[in-house]
Structure 1
Amino acid sequence: MANINDMTVGSPTRDIIHFAVPLICGYILQQMYLIIDAAIVGQFIGVNALAAVGASSSIMFLIMGFCNGSCAGFAIPVAQEFGAKDYSKMRAYVSNALRIAAVIAVVITVITCIFCERILKIVNTPADIFHDAWLFLMLNFLAIPFTIAYNILSGFIRALGDSKQPFYFLIASSVVNILLDFLLIIAFGMGVEGAGIATMLSQIFASALCALYIKKRMRILIPQGRERAYNDKMVGKLLNNGIPMGLQFSITAIGTIMLQSANNALGTVYVASFTAAMRVKYLFTCVFENIGVAMATYCGQNIGARKLERIKLGMTSAVKIMLVYFVFTLIVIGLFADEMMLMFVKSTESEIISNAAMYMRISSYFFPVLGILTIFRYSLQGLGFSNLSMLSGVMEMIARCGVSLWLVPAFLFLGVCYGDPTAWIAADLFLVPAVVIVYKRLKKRMAKA
């Protein structure tokens, strides 16, 4: 039997931890193989190749953020109907979500491939790494349909409370990715192209595993008969949940692109510093992100079951869990940030190591602000208020653009280091009152029902 988890009963803290731990482990594993990608590229090909891989990271965050955010939004009505125990309606949402995801995959892949070169010019990619950056980015764009397939299918699985199977699939695909890295980059000498191909093949493998699992073990998700029909109202609700979530990530990424463009203009050394720091930062921040992801499913199921007080208890529990993790990150990053950067470059690259370690330490001081952001943002999404989540992304974008236009020219790489913290603070200034207002509104609405 599939591991279906009803999060509308039992201890909120236990439910959140039980759901979040496989997610966190999966994303740590995912970030680890991204780190291994960068380490292999930096150590075996060189600093320029490392910079080429990182030069387009904000672009990928823009594109894949929209795709992944949209897929997460499409899973919210599925979680809500599962919480309400209306399984036929749940499967109808699955059917219509797959239609939308297929259209998005085709359109975005075609557009991004056509404009790949122009995109890299927009973000001031240095000439000495331009070709490798273009090659790596193009291969990532070609993998978009498979990335969307994995995210939509794993989103359906998580909507039913099963976060373990997507974790197992990430383990398998990560192993495939790492083995292919060694084979294509080191054994066959394919360089940056090998890293891109390895990523693409691992995404194909992960999406195939999700599809096979649903077919064999989670048939409750497979639409039958009239459940497969196109439904205007359902498509509208799916788009209302998915598109704002996708735009939220993309809008946030616009600010990140501005920041990376300002950093790219500083030169290849700073591009490499930014690349190394971002790889390690994502390894730590993915825990905050996935506590938030757990809250989206938790809130989605509980709002479907009309258990508002339980949602409040869950948010309080999530904040406590986040603060415990923050203490751990502060100690580890404070002590070992410099040593972590030796994974990507040789010890002689002292300027890159120093810059990247400084970026990590400054970011870590503001991790509680990020934790509040992810918990509140994903909770709003699970409650069906994706538009408010999108507006918090607007606040992040404005803050990062301000840093890019004023702080980076004035303080150079130190200004870059304060880009994320400034954006997180700006988002929280919007999200905290938004959550309070939404909760009061839902309380009044349920009292009248």
Structure 2
Amino acid sequence: MQRNLTEGSIRKNLIIFALPFLAANFLQALYGTVDVAVVGWFTDASGISAVSIGSQIMMIINSLVVGVTLGGTILIAQYVGARMEGDIRETIGSMLTLFIIAGLVLTAVMFAMLEPILGWLQTPPEALDQARQYSQVAFCGILFTLMYNGISAVLRGMGDSTRPLIFIAVACILNIVLDLLFVGPLGMGAWGAALATILSQAVSMVLSIIYLKRRDFLFDFKLKSFRLHRGKTLRILKLGLPISLQESMVNLSFLIISAAVNALGVAASAAVGIAGKFDGFAMLPATALSGAISSMAAQNMGAGQPERARKTMYTGIAFSLAAASVFFLWVQLAPESVMGLFGAEGDVTAAGVQYMRAFSLDFLMVAFVFCMNGFFNGCGSTVFSMANGLLSTFLVRIPLVFLLESAFPAAPLFGIGLAAPIASAVSIVVGLAYMRSNRWKRDLVQEGILSKS
């Protein structure tokens, strides 16, 4: 199941590894998008708003553990590059055990915090009951989500991006079928969409474990193998916690921005919710390439090839920028068609067009930001990625949201959308300065994986 990413054509390796990654991310994004679309087809703006807000709450959970996921992927990839099989096995056991613990704790915490969170988000009264129901059902599937993502992260660290695609494809197809059944004929509304999602993720998790056990996978999934190895656990957390903190704070910023949007009314809330789903698709190429670059850079750094790792980043930026340009032009030329995909009309469409014309500039910016962060994370410089992300988010984007909203009184959503690409531009400048400093090599030199020469 391992794939060596330290030899051969960088362009070919990146494409072969990133395409299944892209397809898997596309299907994963389809989960939430299908929820919004189906609810939009069978209910109204309050239903769309409820699912959008519930999805934002679930993003909090994902952001809390994404760092541990990526930290495990990076560490496994570095050990694969250095050919340390025993360390790979211990890292897998430690990461999956962390996910089990985190899943149980997060489920309890999120149930306890749901009402305050809905209040902080200024959830429109029309959407409150449905948002509560959607979130409560979704929380029941947290453990399934974490375990599936943990298994996928392990495989990607080992250079295998195809099997995660297969696992999520099964879940996505099941999710669509159950969405149409629960929300349509059964009339279950927003909470039916959440139930469809957690059931499909549970099936995906079980099937992935059964499949790997029958293929003599490096990790045997026996109870005795689930344990925290101190050294590996600390390294996963050292690599992952900065990413988790960054993702958590960035998603917190989204909630702050969401609260500002929700205060403008249910039409604005629904419009930005729809736009957010499309934005996720537009950024998928950059997201997939960022993940692929992390794994490739980590393997190459582990194999003592830092320049090959850096060339991987440049190749990824070129591919990301080409893909982002297509989505940018789509939004600029026909934004109404994007809103129409989700059954939006009237005030919701008008608000969405206003927001997306400005925000779509960020499609181009993140082609650089995501690929650079993927490279820095693969090199182990996760603290820098965190600091850079928090700088651009809290010192640039959030202040600009409120400044530009006031600067465009006739089109406040345009100002809110414009804050994102400006913040990303600042992040790019800081990233380029860090790249020139060569500090991205230091962590692996200190760990003894990369030599000083």
Residue 360 (1) aligns with residue 356 (2): yes
Matched residue, 1:156? 154
- Conserved in 2, the CA contact under 8 Å of 1:94 and 1:223? no
Match of 1:405 among 402, 405, 408: 402
Matched residue, 2:388? 392
Matched residue, 2:169? 171
Q: After superposing the two structures, state which structure 1 stretch, 27-36 or 367-376, moved more.
A: 27-36
Aligned Cα root-mean-square deviation (Å): 2.2
Matched residue, 1:433? 433
Query: In the superposition, relative to structure 1, how do residues 131 and 9 fare at CA in structure 2: closer, same or farther (>3 Å)?
Result: same
Q: CA–CA distance in 2 between the matches of 1:311 and 1:304?
A: 10
Q: CA–CA distance in 2 between the matches of 1:218 and 1:283?
A: 35
Q: After superposing the two structures, state which structure 1 stretch, 160-169 or 404-413, moved more.
A: 404-413
- Conserved in 2, the CA contact under 8 Å of 1:91 and 1:223? no
Matched residue, 1:289? 287
Query: In the superposition, relative to structure 1, how do residues 217 and 239 fare at CA in structure 2: closer, same or farther (>3 Å)?
Result: same
- Conserved in 2, the CA contact under 8 Å of 1:96 and 1:235? yes
How far 1:230 sits from its partner (Å)?
A: 4.0
Matched residue, 1:306? 304
Matched residue, 1:27? 25
How far 1:168 sits from its partner (Å)?
A: 1.4
- Conserved in 2, the CA contact under 8 Å of 1:47 and 1:345? no
Q: CA–CA distance in 2 between the matches of 1:310 and 1:40?
A: 45
1:57-76 alignment to 2 at 5 Å?
A: 57-76=55-74
Matched residue, 2:251? 253
How far 1:210 sits from its partner (Å)?
A: 2.3
Q: After superposing the two structures, state which structure 1 stretch, 389-398 or 141-150, moved more.
A: 389-398
- Conserved in 2, the CA contact under 8 Å of 1:19 and 1:163? yes
1:110-158 per-position Cα deviation (integer Å, ceiling 9, x unaligned): 1111110110101111112111111112222221111110111100011
Q: CA–CA distance in 2 between the matches of 1:333 and 1:272?
A: 18
Match of 1:204 among 196, 202, 205: 202
Q: CA–CA distance in 2 between the matches of 1:440 and 1:179?
A: 46
- Conserved in 1, the CA contact under 8 Å of 2:97 and 2:227? no
Query: In the superposition, relative to structure 1, how do residues 235 and 324 fare at CA in structure 2: closer, same or farther (>3 Å)?
Result: same
Match of 1:144 among 129, 142, 157: 142
Match of 1:343 among 337, 341, 346: 341
- Conserved in 1, the CA contact under 8 Å of 2:380 and 2:444? no
Query: In the superposition, relative to structure 1, how do residues 404 and 334 fare at CA in structure 2: closer, same or farther (>3 Å)?
Result: closer
Q: After superposing the two structures, state which structure 1 stretch, 20-29 or 288-297, moved more.
A: 20-29
Q: After superposing the two structures, state which structure 1 stretch, 9-18 or 435-444, moved more.
A: 435-444
1:70-219 alignment to 2 at 5 Å?
A: 70-217=68-215, 219=217
- Conserved in 1, the CA contact under 8 Å of 2:267 and 2:351? no
How far 1:11 sits from its partner (Å)?
A: 0.7
How far 1:350 sits from its partner (Å)?
A: 2.4
Q: CA–CA distance in 2 between the matches of 1:186 and 1:227?
A: 43
Query: In the superposition, relative to structure 1, how do residues 152 and 229 fare at CA in structure 2: closer, same or farther (>3 Å)?
Result: closer
What amino acid sits opposite 1:72 in the alignment?
L
Query: In the superposition, relative to structure 1, how do residues 207 and 443 fare at CA in structure 2: closer, same or farther (>3 Å)?
Result: closer
1:273-295 per-position Cα deviation (integer Å, ceiling 9, x unaligned): 11111111111111111110001
Q: After superposing the two structures, state which structure 1 stretch, 187-196 or 317-326, moved more.
A: 317-326
Q: CA–CA distance in 1 between the matches of 2:451 and 2:228?
A: 34
The alignment's TM-score, normalised by the length of structure 1, stands at 0.93
Query: In the superposition, relative to structure 1, how do residues 60 and 436 fare at CA in structure 2: closer, same or farther (>3 Å)?
Result: farther
Which blocks of at least 5 consecutive residues in structure 2 are unaligned? none
- Conserved in 2, the CA contact under 8 Å of 1:315 and 1:375? yes
How far 1:235 sits from its partner (Å)?
A: 1.4
How far 1:343 sits from its partner (Å)?
A: 2.3
Helix, strand or coil at the partner of 2:184: helix
Q: CA–CA distance in 1 between the matches of 2:131 and 2:355?
A: 23
Helix, strand or coil at the partner of 2:3: coil
Query: In the superposition, relative to structure 1, how do residues 448 and 345 fare at CA in structure 2: closer, same or farther (>3 Å)?
Result: closer
- Conserved in 1, the CA contact under 8 Å of 2:320 and 2:367? yes
Q: After superposing the two structures, state which structure 1 stretch, 116-125 or 431-440, moved more.
A: 431-440
Q: After superposing the two structures, state which structure 1 stretch, 380-389 or 323-332, moved more.
A: 323-332
How far 1:228 sits from its partner (Å)?
A: 6.4
What amino acid sits opposite 2:419 in the alignment?
G
- Conserved in 1, the CA contact under 8 Å of 2:397 and 2:423? yes
- Conserved in 1, the CA contact under 8 Å of 2:77 and 2:298? yes
What amino acid sits opposite 2:302 in the alignment?
G
Helix, strand or coil at the partner of 1:115: helix
- Conserved in 1, the CA contact under 8 Å of 2:21 and 2:161? yes
Helix, strand or coil at the partner of 1:366: helix
Q: CA–CA distance in 2 between the matches of 1:427 and 1:421?
A: 10
What amino acid sits opposite 1:424 in the alignment?
S
Helix, strand or coil at the partner of 1:301: helix
Query: In the superposition, relative to structure 1, how do residues 254 and 159 fare at CA in structure 2: closer, same or farther (>3 Å)?
Result: same
1:219-298 alignment to 2 at 5 Å?
A: 219-222=217-220, 230-298=228-296
Identity %: 26
How far 1:387 sits from its partner (Å)?
A: 1.1
How far 1:218 sits from its partner (Å)?
A: 5.4
Matched residue, 2:320? 322
